[in-house]
Structure 1
């Protein structure tokens, strides 16, 4: 009975140990690679230009609001009630336009960032895949998500950078 149990245990453990072959694991610092890619710099420049356009428009609208508000405050005591309510409505409408433009700007900036980043991310992923295939790696993991990196892993950041021509 004892012998049968040992044979059964050995038979169950054999696949576990047989599958425990060594794996070649690479670690890449994708944030470092991304920061050095010229595409990221051009993406940031394009996003900065778009942000500047929205900012200029918002500043202009805020100045217009401020001017109209100051005029309203100065003249409200002498205004006829119908004109006063029309001016208040004008200020509320302008304030709403500013808020709406702010929301649209944020959404457009996020959308543009996703649109511009997708091909950069694809390019990085393809370079990592090439390094993985060329180097015979079983896994390549991102350094930012690693809690522990042992001596059995290899930093492939420089290999990925060279695949990208950096």
Structure 2
């Protein structure tokens, strides 16, 4: 019975001792990490190519609409009402098609960006987790969310961004984003 009480007391003491140890918190600049990755340029190139293709389609539809509109304006009252009304319907349909094409293009571009970025974010997340565990961090924050600073002050020793890059086999270059303010 004394052994059980002793083990219970020892376990409880160990639990309290562990609970009182300070948390080791770090941060990672995900934008900086991403900017250093070779995949970033490939993704940017793919997205720009897609955007160029979509813009070409859009410009073609706009040119078709403008041509039809100029033809409509050129004949004015010289055509029968039925032809004029038919042309007006065609113009309205073209205008709706242009708006739909613009919306679809934006959605396609966003979908492609998510598709291309997902494996990169997974890779970065895994590397952050491995670095955090290897360096006994209890929590890792990102320094920005939606372009807004989240970490307002951080000691450079808390920044694991370069460690994450090294973990992924990337030699860190000069930072291209703003580090947290000190």
Same fold (TM over 0.5): yes
Moved more, 102-111 or 23-32: 23-32
Q: Which runs of 5+ in 2 are unaligned?
A: 1-14, 145-149, 171-182
Q: Secondary structure at the match of 2:158?
A: strand
SS in 2 for 1:43: helix
2:90 counterpart of 1:51:
no
Q: Which residue in 1 is equivalent to 2:168? A: 164
Q: What is residue 152 of structure 2 aligned with on the other side?
A: 147
1:114 — aligned with what? 114
Q: How far is 1:131 from its partner?
A: 0.5
Q: Give matches, 1:79-118, under 5 Å.
A: 79-118=79-118
TM-score by length of structure 2 reads: 0.76
Q: Which residue of 1 aligns with 2:128?
A: 128
For residue 88 of structure 1, give the secondary structure of its aligned residue in structure 2.
helix
Q: How many pairs does the alignment contain?
A: 151
Structure 1 vs Structure 2 CA RMSD: 1.9
Residue 29 of structure 2 is matched in structure 1 by 29
Q: TM-score, normalised by structure 1?
A: 0.83
Residues 111-130 of structure 1 show CA distances to partners (whole Å, capped at 9, x for unaligned) of: 11111111110000011011
Alignment partners' CA distance in 2, 1:33 and 1:150? 18
Greater relative CO (CA pairs within 8 A, separation 6+): 1
**Structure 1 pair 126–66 and aligned structure 2 pair: CA distance change class (3 A):** same
